[in-house]
């Protein structure tokens, strides 16, 4: 159980004293549940729906309180990772110390962001104590994986620490003829330049290969999702490599004053080849198809400068944080397309779907985004009272260029966002709180020419949250109950006068409740449980989606996982775990005429620890139930049964 987090405040604040809903997925939880992806690691977290559109090995997709957070809400070590149209920084859970989720608006500290929340992937850091770990994993779908994690002082010099984490994987997936291959290396070192100054350098290299188009044909007459793949292993492939390097520098002048600077430079190169449906021939059995290739490059730069002061004004203690950060990303995307061989739906044959003609360049676009933010926050403590107030001013510059025509569009959105939270911490460990926060997110595009082609303003989010946190004295447990009412404005909707364009008069409201428990019931017995109720509705729109539920958002979901390890006797070190996950029905289209079924899955695992050796066997979705999930015009199946055996040695 984690007790502290820096995500909610950018200061080292206990979770029980942070007046906003935050969950921490620890390294132990990732290991015990057998999570192989960030999405699987978050599957037991309240308010988070992972892989909402079925099995998609390309990205770590997640909704938080009904809003997609895998684009702007994808953070690593407190810095946004950035994204293009297809190029996303992917996160390897073996390289994570923990994964933190902050629900609700987070713009006051992090700038442009979705209203639902963010996920912060926290990297493994160099350790003072020596660590040596190697492991081997073998699973179904021909999954073979080797991994290592080494850390400690360099040449017995406790002023220079290192860590080197890595993983190599060769694997298939439940989609025949596709891959889940990865090479991942993450070296880092920490130098104690003086008693008051610390520098940590973090680097990463990752190369992966998987399916670009994991979708299946939905029968247009019956609405049934078939087992006929739209893609073809002869052409379907997504290859990506990414790299980043950065540092964290901290200097403490004294116990009350410190400055920090976090910097990261990142790059992603992406190429995706796909085959998809074009039209159905009049005979009703021949599917005409096209082939496409996407090539995208993403470059990012982050810097976050902070100053933190701890002081007092009379009986009130303050932790004051002020900072200025800068984020810049540039993307280039080239799109090629051409015809592909048709597919006989009565006798589909795969393996020969290379394009029938050279792919032609259909579009080429470049985009740059620059954002400067100035923020300040004051955490005040008086007795059991905790008051957190913060504000931020952002200045952004967004530029889009059509590289084929030379046409450009520019906008310079700016926005002030804020947060205020009040909490009272009782001696019993009970802490009720209330929180108000706002967010903003720049929008690309313009209004109709008849309206002056005015650049779209940022969407804005406004949230009111109230809850109770409870950390009982003497227990290694933590409970939260939260109610929230969240509204997103300036959402794009159809222009009633010029229907091929959009105006910003739409609104989406999400309100509900979340329960989460991270608990230790007895010696050796631990677990996590969550329940989420999310009532998401389009409350303003010029289209037919008015009053409807956004695609993929369930009204209810719940999960529980328990793990017990014998502490003594002949079974000492042996443990078993079991879990269940349930996600309610969702809608597959904007106007709520096609419904996706509910999804239930059961997980289990056994493990044995003896003298630094750990043997484990984990299975997820034991019943192998694969439920079809559609998102507009695309359909995929949920993740089927996965079995993973592992052997890990640590010394």
Please tell me what DSSP assigns to residue 503: E
Residue with tokens 């192989």: 36
Q: Give the model's pLDDT for residue 60.
A: 87
> Environment class of residue 546 by beta-carbon count within 10 Å: exposed (0-12), middle (13-18) or buried (19+)?
middle
pLDDT in tens, 25-44: 999 999 999 999 999 999 99
Q: How far does CA 416 lie from the centroid of its chain?
A: 25
Low-confidence stretches of the chain (pLDDT beneath 70)? 352-354, 356-357
Domain span at residue 268? 4-650
Please tell me the distance from the alpha carbon of residue 352 to that of residue 349, in angstroms, as a whole number: 8
- The closest of 64, 51, 61 to 23, measured between CA atoms, is 64
Residue with tokens 């540092």: 247
Q: Give the model's pLDDT for residue 214.
A: 92
Angle made by CA atoms 444, 449, 452, in degrees to the nearest 5: 80
| DSSP-derived 3-state class of residue 629 | strand
Q: Give the model's pLDDT for residue 525.
A: 95
**Do you know the residue count of the chain?**
651
Q: Give the model's pLDDT for residue 273.
A: 95
Pairing of strands 613-620, 599-610: antiparallel
**381 half-sphere exposure, CB direction, 13 A CA radius:** 14
φ, ψ dihedrals at 508, nearest 5°? -125, 135
- b/e per residue 373-410 (b: at least 16 CB within 10 A): bebebbbbbeeeebbbebbbebebbbbbbeeeeeeeee
Return the beta strands (E) in 345-384 as ranges. Answer: 360-382
pLDDT in tens, 431-449: 999 999 999 999 888 899 9
Which residues is 210 bridged to in the sheet? 180, 238
Q: How far does CA 131 lie from the centroid of its chain?
A: 28
Q: Which helix (H) or strand (E) holds 302?
A: strand 286-313
Q: Which two tokens stand for residue 620?
A: 């997820």
Q: Give the model's pLDDT for residue 358.
A: 75
Q: Which helix (H) or strand (E) holds 195?
A: none
Please tell me the distance from the alpha carbon of residue 637 to that of residue 43, in angstroms, as a whole number: 17
- The closest of 163, 208, 160 to 186, measured between CA atoms, is 163
Please tell me what DSSP assigns to residue 70: S
SS (H, E, C) 458-492: CEEEEEEEEEEEECCCCCCCEEEEEEEEEEEEEEE
User: What is this structure's pTM?
Assistant: 0.94
The number of distinct structural domains making up the chain is 1
**CA terminus-to-terminus distance, the chain:** 24
Is the distance from CB of 579 to CB of 543 less than 8 angstroms? no
| DSSP-derived 3-state class of residue 52 | coil
Please tell me the distance from the alpha carbon of residue 274 to that of residue 232, in angstroms, as a whole number: 8
Please tell me the distance from the alpha carbon of residue 78 to that of residue 119, in angstroms, as a whole number: 9
Please tell me the distance from the alpha carbon of residue 321 to that of residue 305, in angstroms, as a whole number: 10
- The closest of 329, 328, 309 to 319, measured between CA atoms, is 309
- b/e per residue 493-516 (b: at least 16 CB within 10 A): bbbeeeeebbbbbbbbbbbbbbbb
Please tell me what DSSP assigns to residue 571: G
Q: Give the model's pLDDT for residue 645.
A: 98
Q: Give the model's pLDDT for residue 445.
A: 84
φ, ψ dihedrals at 39, nearest 5°? -60, -45
Q: Which CATH number does the domain housing residue 407 bear?
A: 2.40.170.20
Q: Give the model's pLDDT for residue 384.
A: 97
Virtual torsion, Cα 215, 219, 224, 226, nearest 10 deg:
-50
Please tell me the distance from the alpha carbon of residue 74 to that of residue 91, in angstroms, as a whole number: 9
Q: Give the model's pLDDT for residue 353.
A: 61
Please tell me what DSSP assigns to residue 429: S
């Amino acid at each position: 159980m984690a007790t502290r987090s820096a995500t909610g405040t950018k200061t080292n604040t206990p979770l029980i004293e942070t007046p906003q809903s935050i969950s921490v997925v620890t390294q132990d939880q990732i290991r015990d549940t057998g999570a192989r992806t960030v999405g699987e690691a978050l599957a037991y977290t309240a308010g988070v729906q992972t892989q909402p559109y079925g099995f998609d090995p390309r990205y770590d997709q997640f909704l938080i309180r009904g809003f997609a957070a895998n684009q702007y809400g994808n953070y690593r070590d407190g810095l946004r990772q950035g994204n293009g149209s297809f190029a996303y920084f992917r996160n390897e859970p073996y390289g994570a110390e923990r994964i933190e989720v902050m629900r609700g608006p987070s713009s006051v500290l992090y700038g442009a962001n979705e209203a639902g929340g963010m996920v912060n992937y926290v990297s493994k850091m160099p350790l003072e104590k020596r660590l040596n770990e190697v492991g081997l994993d073998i699973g179904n779908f021909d999954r073979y994986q080797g991994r290592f994690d080494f850390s400690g002082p360099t040449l017995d010099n406790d002023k220079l620490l290192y860590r080197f984490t890595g993983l190599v994987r060769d694997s298939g997936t439940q989609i025949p003829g596709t891959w889940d291959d990865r090479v991942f290396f993450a070296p880092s070192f920490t130098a104690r330049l003086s008693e008051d100054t610390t520098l940590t350098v973090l680097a990463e290299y990752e190369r992966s290969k998987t399916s670009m188009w994991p979708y299946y044909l939905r029968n247009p007459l019956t609405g049934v999702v078939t087992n006929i793949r739209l893609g073809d292993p002869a052409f379907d492939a997504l290859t990506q490599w990414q790299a980043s390097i950065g540092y964290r520098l901290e200097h403490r002048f004294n116990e009350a004053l410190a400055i920090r600077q976090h910097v990261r430079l990142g790059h992603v190169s992406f190429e995706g080849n796909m085959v998809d449906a074009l039209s159905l021939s009049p005979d009703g059995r021949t599917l005409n198809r096209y082939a496409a290739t996407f090539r995208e490059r993403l470059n990012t730069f982050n810097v976050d400068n902070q100053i933190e002061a701890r002081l007092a004004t009379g009986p009130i203690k303050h932790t004051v944080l002020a900072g200025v950060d800068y984020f810049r990303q540039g993307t280039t995307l080239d799109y090629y397309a051409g015809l592909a061989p048709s597919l006989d739906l009565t006798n589909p044959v795969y393996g020969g779907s290379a394009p029938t003609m050279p792919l032609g360049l259909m579009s080429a676009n470049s985009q740059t985004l620059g954002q400067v933010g100035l923020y300040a926050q004051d955490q005040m403590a008086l007795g059991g009272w905790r008051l957190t107030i913060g504000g931020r001013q952002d200045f952004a510059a967004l530029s889009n260029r059509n590289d084929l025509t030379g046409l450009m569009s520019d906008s310079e959105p700016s926005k002030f966002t804020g947060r205020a939270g009040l909490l009272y911490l009782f001696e019993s460990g009970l802490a009720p709180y209330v929180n108000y926060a706002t967010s903003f997110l720049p929008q690309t595009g313009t209004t109709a020419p008849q309206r002056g082609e005015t650049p779209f303003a940022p969407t804005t989010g406004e949230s009111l949250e109230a809850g109770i946190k409870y950390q009982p004295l003497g227990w290694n447990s933590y409970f939260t109950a939260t109610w929230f009412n969240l509204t997103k404005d300036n959402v794009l909707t159809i222009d009633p006068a010029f229907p091929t364009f959009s105006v910003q008069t739409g609104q989406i409201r999400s309100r509900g409740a979340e329960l989460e428990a991270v608990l230790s019931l007895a010696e050796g017995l631990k677990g996590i449980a969550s329940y989420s109720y999310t009532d998401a509705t389009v409350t303003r729109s010029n289209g037919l989606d008015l009053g409807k539920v956004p695609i993929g958002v369930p009204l209810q979901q719940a999960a529980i996982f328990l793990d017990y390890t014998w502490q003594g006797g002949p079974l000492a070190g042996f443990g078993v775990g079991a879990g269940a996950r349930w996600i309610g029905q969702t809608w597959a289209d904007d106007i709520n005429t096609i419904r996706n079924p509910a999804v239930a899955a059961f997980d289990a695992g056994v493990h044995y620890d003896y003298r630094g050796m750990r043997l484990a066997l984990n299975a997820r979705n034991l019943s192998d139930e694969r439920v079809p999930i559609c998102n507009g015009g695309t359909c995929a199946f949920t993740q089927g049964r996965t079995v993973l055996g592992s052997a890990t040695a640590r010394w």
